[in-house]
Amino acid sequence: MSEIEPRSAVVVGGASGIGAAIARALAADGATVTVADRNVDQAKELAAELGPTHHAAQVDVTDENSILRLFESVRAARGRVDIAVNSAGISVAGSITDLPVDKFRLVVDVCLTGAFLVIKHAARAMDDGGVIISLSSLNARQPGTGMSAYCSAKAGLAMLTEVAALELAPQGIRVNAIAPGIVMTPLTTPSMSVPGLEDDYLANTPLGRSGTPEEIADAAIYMTHASWLTGESLDLNGGAHLVKYPDLLTHFRRATA
């Protein structure tokens, strides 16, 4: 990877929350950023905020052709792809006995198969080595009631990161993941409004507070420069991985009783 030319970065799921903070941090770190998201209007707003050298693109991680087109177009426009971040993610809540299989499949499609496709096409577009970072979760290692699809997908993503790191090392591509605990974003705000749930999270977080998108972005920037780091899933959660996950279903049932 050249240290002279600006690095070309693609942030998938970059229009909102953690991905948006990573896009801002990459731009501040000197990269040229493509903000790619299903929500292209929000991606365009962020790219405009970042400045004229940054771009927006539409992508749906459940559609392989759309991911292929994204990375081909960035390589054509910038001449290279050095950094790919996959922050696209969704979650659904429901007990295993109630959850419709199409909802389970959708979460796996976005959070696991989508990450596989981003790694696949980002790696194909990286001619001169690179860095791929996925957003995993505390739920890759801590089970949560009502979160079978999300926990399964994120646990799969942790192993996918390790396999991809092994396979892509010969091409000089490092593959890592960040596994955040609770961070207030549009993804988490709805469940955090359930009475008592946020208190329960924080009681199980030794540092006693939720994280910020900017704290996750700091780790992503570190990973882009950490030239000997690959195959790592970084627990970034105020120590929550040392304690236990709140019982979400009990909170949801109490709230709707």
Ligand X SMILES: NC(=O)c1ccc[n+]([C@@H]2O[C@H](COP(=O)([O-])OP(=O)(O)OC[C@H]3O[C@@H](n4cnc5c(N)ncnc54)[C@H](O)[C@@H]3O)[C@@H](O)[C@H]2O)c1
Residue 22 binds ligand X, judged by CB under 6 A: no
**Measured between alpha carbons, how far is residue 167 from residues 65, 119, 173, 218 in Å?**
23, 11, 9, 26
Both tokens assigned to 177: 């993941």
> What part of residues 183-242 is at the interface with ligand X (CB under 6 A)?
183, 185-188
The DSSP symbol for 51 reads -
Residue 18 binds ligand X, judged by CB under 6 A: yes
Q: Using CB under 6 A, which of 50, 135, 164, 234 touches ligand X?
A: 135
Give the nearer residue to ligand X in terms of CB position, either 143 or 172: 143
Closest CA to 19 of 37, 32, 6, 31: 37
Residue 177 binds ligand X, judged by CB under 6 A: no
Residue 81 binds ligand X, judged by CB under 6 A: no
Give the nearer residue to ligand X in terms of CB position, either 169 or 232: 232
107 CB neighbour count, 10 Å cutoff:
22
Size of the site for ligand X (CB under 6 A): 27
Residue 13 CB partners (closer than 8 Å, separation 6+): 19, 36, 37, 61, 86, 87, 88, 89, 135
Q: What angle, 0 to 180 degrees and rounded to 10, lies between the N-to-C axes of helices 17-28 and 40-50? A: 30
Report the phi/psi class of residue 146: left, alpha or beta, with left for phi > 0 and alpha for psi in -120 to 50.
Answer: left
Q: Using CB under 6 A, which of 57, 89, 146, 233 touches ligand X?
A: 89
Residue 246 binds ligand X, judged by CB under 6 A: no
Closest CA to 148 of 201, 94, 192, 210: 94
The one catalytic residue among 150, 201, 222, 245:
150
Both tokens assigned to 85: 């971040």
Q: Using CB under 6 A, which of 31, 50, 88, 149 touches ligand X?
A: 88
Q: Using CB under 6 A, which of 46, 90, 133, 149 touches ligand X?
A: 90
Give the nearer residue to ligand X in terms of CB position, either 135 or 165: 135
Residue 173 binds ligand X, judged by CB under 6 A: no
Residue 60 binds ligand X, judged by CB under 6 A: yes
Closest CA to 243 of 124, 173, 138, 133: 138
In the residue annotation, 245 being an active-site residue is answered as: no
Q: How far is the CB of 7 from ligand X (least distance, A)?
A: 21
Q: Using CB under 6 A, which of 1, 6, 29, 39 touches ligand X?
A: 39
Tell me the residue type at 92.
Answer: V
Kindly indicate which of the ranges 49-57, 59-67, 196-204, 220-228 contains the residues binding ligand X, using the contact rule CB under 6 A: 59-67
CA–CA separation, 74 and 100 (whole Å)? 37
Residue 93 binds ligand X, judged by CB under 6 A: no
Residue 142 binds ligand X, judged by CB under 6 A: no
Name the site residues for ligand X (rule: CB under 6 A).
Answer: 13, 15-19, 37-39, 59-62, 87-90, 110, 135, 137, 180, 182-183, 185-188
Catalytic residues: 150
